[in-house]
């Protein structure tokens, strides 16, 4: 993805809130989502975030502000799911982005016709922006791999395959929900410390995982792998993702086949998909250490100028029942610490001929940095309960409690470019349901 006129930091919008310092959604962003007015019986439809507003793409089409060449892409962006838009590919995505930038910028003659097509974000509710056929979660952070290995398998060495391929497992797409969905504390089977037999009870070790998610674009036919050099053309955009986890269940069930009931009860995604093109200013080299192999022959990047990583600031905030809505930042890191990039995840997923389809979701796995305070889950932050995490109101946490609200945030900043944000990805823990 290369820089173009849509990234120009001097661009301003006739939507005043898009020009405010610190906004997640300036005119240089223009992420896609699916929404309707909160509490209404309206049909969900596609929209584009601009400042504190949403451009209703269905109404924008009716206003006839898009030229004939953009009509198909604009119609796809107005649908109740965005799979058709994802299937169109990079040329259509980029052309639509340029068209949206043109009609939303300051002085655009279309402003008068589009002003009535705006819906305040505060008055909207969202749906998952794609019909997600399949969801695969990866393991791309070296720090997370090392930290979790020390806690789950302290006598075992670091995973030798981590440096050669992005490890992954298939998740459950039916339990993916959009930001704001509540999480009843899940039940499961696990073994308590010092006990020989397991119990079946609500989890005592509920945790979050700070991840990025990537939506697949056109995809590939079964039996036709996607080469690494072409993989980015099959990636539509990026969201925030919380892969909630029951750590006690995970520790009991995971070996030898990996996560199952410890993770399939809910995965939360943020409502807005930030296009890969909007993130072009924040590309960076992938994290590597001296002596690291280049990866398998199908995943090795040629030359020394690779910029397959993303340098995005990542944060986790926690509000509790006692804090009365006040949230406290408990983690602060960056996605630049990832060992594997989105393109390598997609290429590796297809190398055996596996077919990916528009709207499939890939998760990066927990994004942790190497230093204390940069961990992407509570189990790592609190060293498996040995060091309680202090909140700003005197409370501490080693695991999530009922009434806790987890808020994930991310944005990119780089001198000479506009700040690009993702909006919140949040969820609240509810009491376990009676059995």
Question: What does the pLDDT average to over 68-90?
Answer: 98
pLDDT, residue 156, reads 73
Residue 305 pLDDT level (bands cut at 50, 70, 90): very low
Q: Which candidate in 7, 32, 144, 234 is catalytic? A: 144
The SS3 assignment for 85 reads: helix
Q: How far is CA 69 from CA 62, 74, 92, 378, 430, in A?
A: 16, 10, 9, 49, 48
283-303 pLDDT, tens per residue?
999 988 878 887 777 888 764
State the Cα–Cα distance between residues 25 and 71, nearest whole angstrom. Answer: 24
Q: What is the pLDDT of residue 394?
A: 96
Find, among 229, 260, 344, the residue nearest to 296 by Cα. 344
Q: What is the mean pLDDT of residues 188-216?
A: 96
Active site annotation includes 339: no
- Residue 104 to residues 97, 109, 336, 423, Cα–Cα distance (Å): 11, 9, 31, 20
Q: What are phi and psi of 310, to 5 degrees?
A: -125, 125
Q: What does pTM read for this prediction? A: 0.96
Name the residue among 181, 232, 241 with its Cα closest to residue 410: 241
Q: CB of 361 within 8 A of CB of 216?
A: yes
pLDDT category, 304, cuts 50, 70, 90?
Answer: very low
Q: Which domains does the chain have, with CATH numbers?
A: 5-126 (2.30.30.230), 135-430 (3.90.850.10)
pLDDT of 116 > 70? The answer is yes
List, in order, residues 6 or more apart from 94 with CB less than 8 Å away: 4, 277
Q: For 174-183, 217-226, 289-298, 313-322, which range has the lowest pLDDT when averaged over its residues?
A: 289-298
Per residue in 124-177, pLDDT (tens digit) is 999 999 999 999 999 999 989 888 877 777 777 778 888 888 999 999 999 999
Q: For 82-113, give one letter per residue: b (16+ CB within 10 A) or e.
A: bbbbbbbbbebbbbbbebbbbbbbeebebbeb
- The whole-number average pLDDT for the span 171-192 is 97
E strands of 140-282, at which residues? Answer: 167-170, 176-178, 182-184, 187-190, 199-202, 206-207, 210-216, 235-243, 245-246, 267-269, 274-275
Distance CA 212, CA 366 (A): 8
Which pLDDT score, from 0 to 100, does residue 284 have? Answer: 95
- Segment 2-21 shows an average pLDDT of 97
């Amino acid at each position: 993805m290369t820089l173009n006129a849509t990234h120009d930091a001097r661009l301003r919008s006739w939507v005043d809130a898009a020009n405010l310092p610190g906004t997640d959604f300036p005119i240089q962003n223009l992420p896609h989502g699916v929404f309707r007015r909160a509490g209404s019986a309206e049909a969900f439809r596609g929209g584009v975030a601009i400042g504190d507003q949403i451009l209703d793409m269905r109404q924008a089409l009716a206003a006839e502000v898009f030229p004939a060449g953009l009509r198909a892409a604009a119609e796809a962006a107005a649908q109740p799911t965005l799979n058709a838009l994802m299937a169109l590919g990079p040329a259509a995505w980029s052309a639509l982005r340029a068209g949206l930038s043109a009609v939303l910028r300051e002085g655009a003659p279309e402003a008068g016709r589009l002003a009535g097509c705006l819906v305040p974000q505060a008055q909207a509710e969202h749906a998952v922006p794609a019909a997600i056929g399949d969801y695969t979660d990866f393991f791309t952070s070296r720090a997370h791999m090392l930290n979790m290995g020390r806690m789950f398998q302290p006598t075992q060495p670091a995973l030798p395959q981590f440096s050669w391929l992005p490890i992954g497992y298939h998740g459950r797409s039916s339990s993916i929900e959009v930001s704001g969905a509540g999480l009843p504390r899940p039940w499961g089977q696990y073994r308590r410390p010092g006990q020989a037999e397991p119990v079946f009870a609500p989890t005592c070790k509920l945790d979050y995982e700070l991840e990025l998610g990537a939506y697949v674009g056109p995809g590939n036919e079964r039996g036709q792998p996607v080469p690494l050099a072409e993989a980015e053309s099959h990636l539509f955009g990026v969201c925030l993702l919380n892969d909630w986890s029951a750590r006690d269940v995970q520790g009991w069930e995971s070996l030898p086949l990996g996560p199952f009931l410890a993770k399939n009860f809910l995965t939360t995604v943020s409502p807005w998909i930030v296009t890969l093109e909007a993130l072009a200013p924040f590309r960076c080299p992938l994290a590597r250490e001296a002596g690291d192999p280049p990866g398998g022959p199908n995943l090795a990047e040629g030359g020394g100028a690779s910029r397959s990583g993303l340098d995005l600031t990542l944060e986790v905030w926690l509000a509790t029942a006692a804090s009365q809505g006040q949230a406290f930042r408990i983690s602060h890191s960056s996605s630049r610490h990832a060992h594997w990039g989105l393109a390598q995840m997609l290429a590796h997923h297809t190398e055996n001929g596996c077919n990916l389809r528009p709207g499939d979701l890939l998760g990066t796995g927990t994004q942790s940095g190497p230093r204390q305070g940069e961990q992407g889950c509570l189990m790592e932050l609190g060293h498996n309960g040995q060091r309680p995490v202090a909140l700003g109101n005197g409370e501490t946490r080693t695991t999530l409690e009922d009434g806790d609200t987890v808020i994930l945030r991310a944005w990119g900043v780089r001198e000479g470019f506009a700040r690009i944000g993702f909006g919140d990805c949040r969820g609240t823990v509810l009491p376990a349901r009676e059995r």
